[in-house]
Amino acid sequence: MKIAVGALFALLLAVTAANAQTVGASLQGTVYDPSGAVVPSAQVEIRNVDTGGIRTLVTDEGGRWREPVLLPGDYELRITAAGFQTIVRRGIHLSVGQEAVVDLHMEIGKTGTEVNVTADAERVNLVSGAVSGLVDEKQMRDLPLNGRSFQQLALLQPGVNAVNAGGSDPVGGRTPKISMNGMRPEVSSFLLDGTDINDVYNKTPGSVGGVLLGVEAVLEFQVLTNSYGAEFGRSAGGVVNAVTRAGTNQDHGSLFEFVRNSDFDAKNFFDQKTAPIPPFKRNQFGGVLGGPIRKDQTFFFGSFESLIDRLGLTGVTLVPNDAARKGQLPTGPAFTVNPAIQPFLDKLFPHANGDDKGGGVAQYLFTAPQPTNEYFAQGRIDHRFSASDSLFGRYTFDNGNVNRPPTIKVPVTLTKERSRNQYVTLEYQHVFSPTRLNTARLGFNRSDHESINQRTVDTGGLTWIPGQPLGYLTISGVATEDFGDYRLPRLDRLNNYQFGDTFFLSHGRHAFRFGVDTQRISSIRTQPVRWAGCSPSPAFQIF
């Protein structure tokens, strides 16, 4: 019994495949002589071309070498052994989650001479059975994106589909939802540098503006849809595994601005024929800057982006027609409208300006502005203490505000929405020996989503219950929950504290990975009690 329990525990902690998917990338290979025999005790030097970081390994008795965790980027290999010419392999580019295999054949010759080869690593995955796809740096920067929401690029991968029925809702998240392999959006996982960034509803992260910003701040991301490693096993669906950009030994920066407006727009089906096209103007701008603080040792990278959107929306709803306002309904005898209620009727239900639908109701068409302001910032610092110790930290901040008018209700109220997302990651890596390495990671995810109703007309003291604000009104066939959203005001807040540690051990042809991942999730919902369909005054403040 004890043996069985021990075996189960080891199975839960260890991944004994050659290498499962990692937050970064991995590199391994075998060194051969001209006859095809392996070369033990050869020195393998892995150099990061962009940062100058060097990792030194020694081949084992089988000529094998393995580095389990590397940052995505460009690398070169230098292989030296007594009695052989030195081989320098350049042009190796590693992507997030890639498990590259580079086998090298050394030539007999005088020590000190070099053979230079330029070639990338094989892109075919020969190590892991995971089904995954990559959205690389070129796709991130070059493909056009409406709103520059980078999660849209996940739809390029097989098995990933948009969930149109998921909707956009103040109590369910505004970012478009995605499904992997037909699973619900709530069971997919989004990682940024290994930290869980799912939103407060455990769905696609993003803002009340409906976007997940950071195209310039994210280097690339991997989409895992099936058979992925145990470290990603928290979710029943797929995994979006993104890594952020880091500084290098060269200063790099860019500025950008994208502009959209209604100058070349056509009217939609519901726009009034005699009215001008609803105004629309979007400015999305920002920049990035990265470089060395201390060459080959300390690096920084910062990003800023803003989305300023002024969108005119067309709304269509039903209101009492002029005959109904006078007490003349086709379904019964005429009646007298109470003079005391007439001012409220005119204030809460505008006069119809569209087609008469019969039964005492007609269409009211209107245009209302929907202003959106969003600000995104991210900073990252990488520091190498020595060849054996390194640390990086990243902080991401995204704040959005939207005043959202109704489009199927009378425009006497709007929904004020605010989101604030903050993500923090700290990761420390220590190399004990060429075959033993450990990474420890701390993460924090705070996701806020706040929504309140705000009346845009003065109800003049009209109320259903004395002492309470005016509630909501439903008239069968005419209006459904007019004058606001009965679920609001509401504040949803998620605090997710995360810790993970992974120990890598290489022994001969085997690679072991032992790890633990813990999350303390605090989900808080603040929602006042409502009486008889009436909502008390807003309990919190939009800012």
User: Which residues have C-beta within 8 Å of that of residue 508, sequence separation ≥ 6?
Assistant: 60, 61, 62, 64
Give me the phi and psi of 263, to 5 degrees please: -60, -35
- Token look-up 């081989």 returns 87
Residue type, 100: A
Give me the phi and psi of 301, to 5 degrees please: -155, 130
How far apart CA 87 and CA 104 sit, in angstroms, is 8
User: Which residues have C-beta within 8 Å of that of residue 467, sequence separation ≥ 6?
Assistant: none
Domains of the chain in sequence order? 18-125 (2.60.40.1120), 132-318+364-526 (no CATH), 319-363 (no CATH)
How far apart CA 116 and CA 163 sit, in angstroms, is 50
Evaluate whether 220 touches 243 at the Cβ level (below 8 Å): yes
3-state class of 462 per DSSP?
A: coil
- The one-digit pLDDT tens for each residue of the chain (543 residues) are 444 434 433 334 433 333 333 578 999 999 999 999 999 999 999 999 999 999 999 999 999 999 999 999 999 999 999 889 999 999 999 999 898 999 999 998 876 678 888 877 777 776 776 788 899 999 999 999 999 999 999 999 999 999 987 778 888 899 999 999 889 999 999 999 999 999 999 999 999 999 999 999 999 999 998 888 888 877 888 999 999 999 999 999 999 999 999 988 888 888 888 888 899 999 999 999 999 999 999 999 999 999 999 999 999 999 999 998 888 988 888 888 888 888 888 888 999 998 999 888 999 999 999 999 999 999 999 999 999 999 999 999 999 999 999 999 999 999 999 999 999 999 999 999 989 999 999 999 999 999 999 988 888 778 878 877 788 888 877 778 888 888 888 999 999 999 999 999 998 888 898 999 999 999 998 887 665 444 333 333 322
Taking residue 82's Cβ as centre, other Cβ atoms within 10 Å add up to 9
pLDDT score of 531: 54
> Cis (ω within 30 of 0) for the bond into 489?
yes
CA dihedral 324, 327, 333, 338 (to 10 degrees): 150
Which helix or strand (DSSP H or E) is residue 2 part of? helix 2-13
Nearest CA-CA partner of 134 in 162, 106, 195, 93: 93
Give me the phi and psi of 511, to 5 degrees please: -130, 130
pLDDT score of 2: 43
Annotate 48-57 with b (16+ C-beta within 10 A) or e (fewer): bbbbebebeb
pLDDT score of 344: 83
How far apart CA 406 and CA 281 sit, in angstroms, is 19
Strand partners, 242: 192, 221
Give me the phi and psi of 527, to 5 degrees please: -150, 115
pLDDT score of 264: 85
pLDDT score of 479: 78
Evaluate whether 425 touches 500 at the Cβ level (below 8 Å): no
Q: Within 13 Å and on the Cβ side, how many CA atoms surround 104?
A: 37
Residue type, 223: V
The C-alpha angle with vertex 540 and arms to 487 and 312, in degrees rounded to 5, equals 65
pTM: 0.89
3-state class of 5 per DSSP?
A: helix
Label residue 346 exposed, middle or buried (CB < 10 Å: 0-12, 13-18, 19+).
Answer: exposed
Which helix or strand (DSSP H or E) is residue 135 part of? strand 131-135
Label residue 96 exposed, middle or buried (CB < 10 Å: 0-12, 13-18, 19+).
Answer: buried
